[in-house]
Structures are given as structure tokens and as C-alpha cells.
Amino acid sequence: MALGAGAGTVAVIPQAAYAQNYAFSSVDIQGNQRVEAGTILSYAGIARGQQVSAGQLNDAYQRILGSGLFESVDLIPQGNTLVIRVVEFPTVNRIAFEGNRRIKDEDLAPIIQSQARRVFNPRVAEQDAQAISEAYVVQGRIAARVSPKVIRRNENRVDLVFEIFEGGVSEVERIGFVGNQVYSDRRLRRVVETKQAGLLRALIRKDTFIEDRVQFDQQLLRDFYMARGYVDFRITGTNAELARERDGFFVTFNVEEGQQFRVGAVTVNSDLPDVDTELFQRAVKLRSGVVYSPMRVENEIARLERLAIREGLNFVRVDPQISRNDRDLTLDVSFNLVRGDRIFVERIDIEGNTTTMDRVVRRQFDTVEGDPFNPRAIRESAERIRALGFFSNVDVDAREGSTPQQVIIDVDVEEQPTGSLSFGANYSSTNGFGAAISFSERNFLGRGQTLGFTINTASASKSYGFNFIEPAVFGQDLAFGLNLNYAQTNKLGGDYDTTSGIFQPSLSFPVSDNGRLSLRYTAKLTDVSSSGAIAGGVIDAESQEGERIDSSLGYTYSWDTRRAGLDPKNTYLFEFSQDFGGVGGDTTFIKTGVKAIAQTKVLSEEVTLRATIEGGALHYSKGESRVTDRFLLSPNLMRGFEYGGIGPREVDGRGNSDALGGNFYAVAKFEAEFPVGLPEEYGISGGLFYDIGSVWGVNSETSNVAGGSIVSADFDARHVVGFSIFWDSALGPLRLDFSEPLQKSKYDEEKNFNLTISTKF
């Protein structure tokens, strides 16, 4: 039964040909069952004995019908009596959805306004059908159709059924750009979230056409160009053409890139008598000649305003003034320190956090109740809340408080899942088949804590891990971590077994914009067991020591330009770590590690060049290092060789070739990543690499107990070349390395192919 608007009549019977007004001494209401007669009279608005015209009578009819309570209304004057005959809308017995598979009933129910045991309204039902259609449009199903139907029941009840035809997904067949000269279409397609449909369209969901996503893509393009100094960049139009079959879109972005600008003169100015401009000028790190980026300016403003607070200068704001120099394509930046309005934060209201505790959100604010209001600091706090990854949506707004000099900060968030539980199987040529279970929760009990554990079992190895991180000890930017690990390995071939257990609490905190320091204590239990008839003399001698406990204090300093995110083309990482053994335990040692990574993008950012230098040193002053302590390089660190495939090795006449590891190692890796000509939606790119490295150095006692001869104990550089395939698959980012050693030692163990989870710098 189709839904129609209410119908009714107004029968006007004049008492004489010239009569235009009526007066009713009584009103007879008929047909109403649920609605009281008094309610109907109130809608009519006609009082007893009141003179009414035919037009007023029609207005009364419209008011009663417009109440939405009646399917039809008739107003019939009969002498001095007005008869109001109504047919009430039925009540909704139940609501059902038919034909929906992509969106479940429980997800559709909150979208509609119609409710069971309420009066049925056809207008509302039509609106509900439109709302359901829009929910499918958001998923890219623009061909979805929804038809509301009613099924009559007894006692003036109906069943409301929404018949849904979901239709297919409208995919993005092609993404194009018009007007771009500096960056190619291929590079810009990697910027936008929307992807083109390809052979893997069943697994790729970002190829679905969603209008809101295209709007977001426009902002991503603006941010991309602005971060690279193209301050005049603008999008002149976006066209989304629907294919004739209505199953695909052709999206085109029309852009104007403009010229790239660099930073010109950088100055600090102020007319405030209590401001020392020289002090603020020295604090500025923005330098002339670098590519202009709004992020650089924002960071300088934040730094200067923090300095003002430390100097006791409340309500001092930094007002940046940008001056163009079109002749040399530079932008002069003047930071003007001005007196802001005396406005205070009255309170911070947080809503929508059904799981996450208020304090987790509140500690992202540098501002507390009673502090001077700083809009820039509030925006930065909003970004930190979004960066938590706990919420699918975050809105932070400021409104006037109880007085014009006070504001209230409203924080409205929407929770999203933050945990994962996975089960899987794995196979390794070294460890055989195994099972893996892992659990991770990034917002444990809504406290913002990270909790996780892993269980890996295989025929040749077993490991159990637990980690916990509290990111804000005492409400400060001080992270506490606890790592527990227990592992057993049984080398294939039965040469020797190892057992290790680690207890490691740590504290981590920032020391600069890009720098962070981590302090830790490590207690490590290790054991090596072997059969002298199988293992070599060195391993057999080390196994005679039995269980050993190493107790150490250590630190790691890291400097990472990605923390500030100022230069999207050039990034750098430096790490230096040391562990000092001898805080109890059975040994005294110093273990040092260093890593440096530099990455840049060239050829319009189509090609990524990356260089990594890494090394380590181990020195014992009490006790000697064992195979569980020394460096054994993995294929991820030195490609082209098995785990422990290079470095000192004991070789005897029984065919043993035990990898002993070394007290020193050094590796340098150089690689380039580039497109291979395949469509971007496949997520496949290629790479070339060159690695050079070595592991060397054994203990003097080790040499004395060797049952055979120790080879490769001295520094001997290995050289490896190869190519890589990077694939952003549905299972995660994968990396396939094919390598060939150019220079190696006689007893090295090669590994020409390696498949790993890709971890890009």
C-alpha cells in the first residue's frame, strides 16, 4: 500500500445565498479513538458561538490535518452543529527492514525516526527512507533504493516495512589532475585518500566513491602543497562524473600550483614595554632560505608563546605577519608580540567518552581551569586528542562562559575500537611450523594505557611476551613501560638450545622538540645447553656455566625530525644507547649501540632515497660474553644472509659450523624506492639496495676452548646488492627482498629471498 497525504473535505452549506459567516452552538467529533475530543477542538480553534468564515473553517481543517495525527479529516457544517469526522493514523506495530545485507538492522534502527507503538506518519516514513538511502550513499552505493510499505493489522495497527535494494558499489574508475606541473598524477594520487579501482577491488575499500572523502582529499592536496611552499595553490574545481552504467566515477581535480616560496627575513617585534625582543629573537629557530611551511610558522608561534609564559608575560600573543617578495619568491615573517584579551578558561567540558576516562582527554590540554585562554594552545590540544587514536571524531570548541571574560571549552568525542585479538599460523625455514596468538589494547580500561601479550610456538622455538605502557605518570609527559619476555629456542639440527627471560621496566620523557630520553633497568636470565657430542667446543664450554643473570641500567637518546614534522621531504633519525651491567648479577659489561638514518625524496618526490648506518659494541670486564649475548645479525639488518649467517663461527672436523656471534658489528645500507609503472591502487612499488656490513670479535677465552677452528673472527666486510618489491596488501605492508652477495666468506650462510612486514622510516 503506497503512502499518501491525508485527505479530507470542508462542506460549507450557507444558510442564505448572501451568508458568508457561520456560528456553531455545538461541535460533533466523530471517529476519534486515541485522541481526545478536547485536543481536536484545540487544533480547530473554533469557540462556541464564534462567527467564522469559510476561509477560517478551511484554516481549522488545515490545522487539524497538519497535526499529523489523522489520516483524513472532514469538516461538515450541519445547521448550528459542526461535524468533525476524523480517521486516525494507525499505530506502528513493528518496524522491519528487508533486503539489507551490508548494513545490519541494529545499525539502521537508530537512523530512522519512526518507532514502534507510536503513531504512524507517512511523511516521517518517507524521511526515514531517505535517511536510509543516505546511509548507503556514504558507503558508495548511490544506486540504493528504499521503499516504505505498510501492512494493515487489526485494531488500527500497521507493520512498517522498509524494502531496501542495496545496489552495487560505485567505484572510482579513474583519478585525474589538471593543471599540475611540479608533481605528477602518480605522486598526487598517493596523497589523496580515495584510490582507483583495480584488480584487487574486492580487498581495497578506498576505491569506493564517497563524496565526503573527496572533500577531505581536497584538504589533503592543499596541505601537501602548502607544506612544500606553494602558498598560492588552489583547487579551482572538482568534477565527479558518473559512468553511464552508474557503477563508477571519474574524479578530476583542477589545480593551480603557483610558485614555490622560501622564507625571507625573520624578525620579532613588539611595542610592549615589558617584552625583551632580543630574548625572543634568539629563541626563533626558523631560518632564511628554507622552504616556507605554515607548520614551521605555527611551531615558532607555539615556542614563543611558551617562552612568554615562562617569562611571566600572560596574555601575550604572537601575531605573525607575512610579507611577499614576488621578485625573489620569498616570504618575510614577522612575529609581532601583542597584548591579547584578558580572557580566562572557566572550565573544560568533555562529552561522548563512554569508555575513555576524562583525565586521559584532559591531560592533552596544557591549559587548566583558571588559566589565560589561548586559542592556539586549544587547537594544539585538539590535535593531540585526535592523535591518540582512541576516537573516530573529535570536536573542540570554545564558547562564552558565565561572563564575557570567561570561556568554556567543549570537547565532544566519539569512541572507536582500540583493541585487537589475532590468531594465526606461521612457517619459518629456521623454526618450522608454529601458531601465534596476540592481543593488543591501546586504551586499556579507558585509561590510555597500552597492554599486550604475544604467544608464538613452533617446533624449534617458543616465545611469550607481555608489555604494558602508562603514557602519563603523575599526569606528566612521562611514560612508564614494562616488558616481560620468555623464549626457548631449539636450533634445527640439535646443536644447542637456549633459554632466556627478560624483565625490563623503563621511563621515557622528552628533552627537546625532537629529542627523547629513555631510562631502563634490565634483568636477563640466560641459559645455553648442548650435548658435547653435537655442539662445538665453544658452545659446549658456554653451556657448562649454566644459568646466568645479567643486571644492567641503560639509556637511549633519540633525535627524530618526524616528531616536529617540519620537512616532509627530508627526515632524520639518530639513536644512541648504552647498557651498563654490574648492578648485581653475575657479569659486568658495557653494551653500546648507535643508529643513524637519513631519508630524502627526489624527482618530484617520486623516488625515495634512504641511508642507514648502524653499529654496536660489547665489552665485558667481569665474565665473558656468550652466544646469547653477542650480536647475531638478522636478514632484516643485513640482507642476503641467514640469521647469524655472517661473523665468527666454530668449524670442526665433525661437520659442525656453529655461529658464535660477535662482540662488534657495523652495517651500512643504501636503498632507493620508486614506482614500477603499475597503477597506484595496487600498492606495489620497487626498490634497489646495497648493504655492506660485518660482525667480528670473540673473547680470548672463547678461542682457547674451541674444539675446532674459529673462522671470520676479524672484520671482513660483506657486500650485498638486490632489489625489493613493496606491497601495501590487505594483510599489511609487505616487503619482498631478493639479494645476491657480492663478497662473502667461505662459511657464510646465504639467504637470497626474505619476506617481512615492511617498516618504512
For 67-198, where are the alpha helices, taking DSSP H only? 105-108, 122-138, 185-189
Backbone phi, psi, residue 265, to 5° = -75, 140
pLDDT of res. 217? 93
The domain limits of the chain are 7-88, 91-165, 171-256, 262-339, 344-415, 507-520+553-757
Separation of alpha carbons 521 and 25, rounded Å:
96
Classify domain 91-165 at the CATH topology level: Ubiquitin-like (UB roll) (3.10.20)
pLDDT of res. 492? 46
For 33-121, where are the alpha helices, taking DSSP H only? 37-44, 54-66, 105-108
Pick from 35-44, 302-311, 419-428, 708-717: least confident: 419-428
Percent of the chain, pLDDT > 90?
Answer: 50
Secondary structure class of 124 (helix, strand, coil): helix
Amino acid making up residue 603: L
Q: What is the DSSP letter of 655?
A: S
pLDDT of res. 653? 67
pLDDT of res. 491? 64
Separation of alpha carbons 407 and 385, rounded Å:
20
Residue 426 confidence (pLDDT) above 70: no
Q: For residue 538, what is its C-alpha cell?
A: 665453544
pLDDT of res. 478? 94
First to last CA, the chain: 62
Angle, nearest 10°, between helix axes 54-66 and 37-44? Answer: 130
CA distances from 89 to 7, 69, 121 (A): 12, 6, 7
Query: Among residues 87, 60, 59, 53, which one has the least CA distance to residue 73?
Result: 87
**What superfamily in CATH does domain 262-339 come from?**
membrane protein fhac (3.10.20.310)
pLDDT of res. 142? 73
Query: Among residues 373, 379, 358, which one has the least CA distance to residue 408?
Result: 373
Bridge partners (DSSP) of residue 23 are 51
Query: Among residues 207, 215, 298, which one has the least CA distance to residue 682?
Result: 207
Task: Write down the architecture of domain 344-415 according to CATH.
Answer: Roll (3.10)
Secondary structure class of 216 (helix, strand, coil): helix
Residue 76 confidence (pLDDT) above 70: yes
CA distances from 138 to 211, 393, 524, 668 (A): 8, 16, 53, 48
pLDDT of res. 500? 93
Highest mean pLDDT among 572-581, 707-716, 724-733: 572-581
Looking at beta carbons, which pairs linking 506-513 to residues 24 or more positions away fall under 8 Å? Answer: 506/480, 506/481, 506/482, 507/473, 507/478, 507/479, 507/480, 507/481, 508/478, 508/479, 508/481, 509/476, 509/477, 509/478, 509/479, 510/477, 511/557, 512/559, 513/299, 513/303, 513/563, 513/564
**pLDDT band (50, 70, 90) for residue 425:** low
Residue 693 confidence (pLDDT) above 80: yes
**Cβ neighbour number for residue 80 with a 10 Å cutoff:** 13
Residue 494 confidence (pLDDT) above 60: no
**pLDDT band (50, 70, 90) for residue 467:** very high
Separation of alpha carbons 178 and 188, rounded Å:
11
Q: Examine domains 262-339 and 344-415 and report if their fold is the same.
A: yes
Domain 171-256 has CATH 3.40.50.300: no
Residue 433 confidence (pLDDT) above 70: no
Task: Write down the architecture of domain 507-520+553-757 according to CATH.
Answer: Beta Barrel (2.40)
Task: Write down the architecture of domain 7-88 according to CATH.
Answer: Roll (3.10)
Amino acid making up residue 129: A
One DSSP character per residue, 264-307 reads: EEEEEEE--TT--HHHHHHH----TTSBP-HHHHHHHHHHHHHH
**pLDDT band (50, 70, 90) for residue 524:** very high
One DSSP character per residue, 576-604 reads: EEEEEE-SSSS-EEEEEEEEEEEEEEETT
Average pLDDT over residues 554-565: 89
Q: For residue 222, what is its C-alpha cell?
A: 592543499
Residue 244 confidence (pLDDT) above 80: no
> Measured over all CA atoms, what is the biggest interatomic distance in the chain, rounded to whole angstroms?
133
pLDDT of res. 761? 62
Contact (Cβ atoms closer than 8 angstroms) between residue 594 and residue 578: no
Query: Among residues 327, 340, 333, 337, which one has the least CA distance to residue 296?
Result: 333
More confident residue, 51 or 262: 262
Q: pLDDT tens digit string along 7-61?
A: 444 444 333 334 467 888 888 888 888 888 888 888 888 877 788 888 888 888 8
pLDDT of res. 77? 87
More confident residue, 199 or 659: 659
pLDDT of res. 617? 97
Helix (H) or strand (E) holding 116: none
Mean pLDDT of the chain: 86
Task: Enumerate residues 6+ apart whose C-beta is below 8 A from 371.
Answer: 344, 345
**pLDDT band (50, 70, 90) for residue 343:** very high
Q: pLDDT tens digit string along 495-510?
A: 678 899 999 999 999 9
Pick from 370-384, 423-437, 662-676: least confident: 423-437
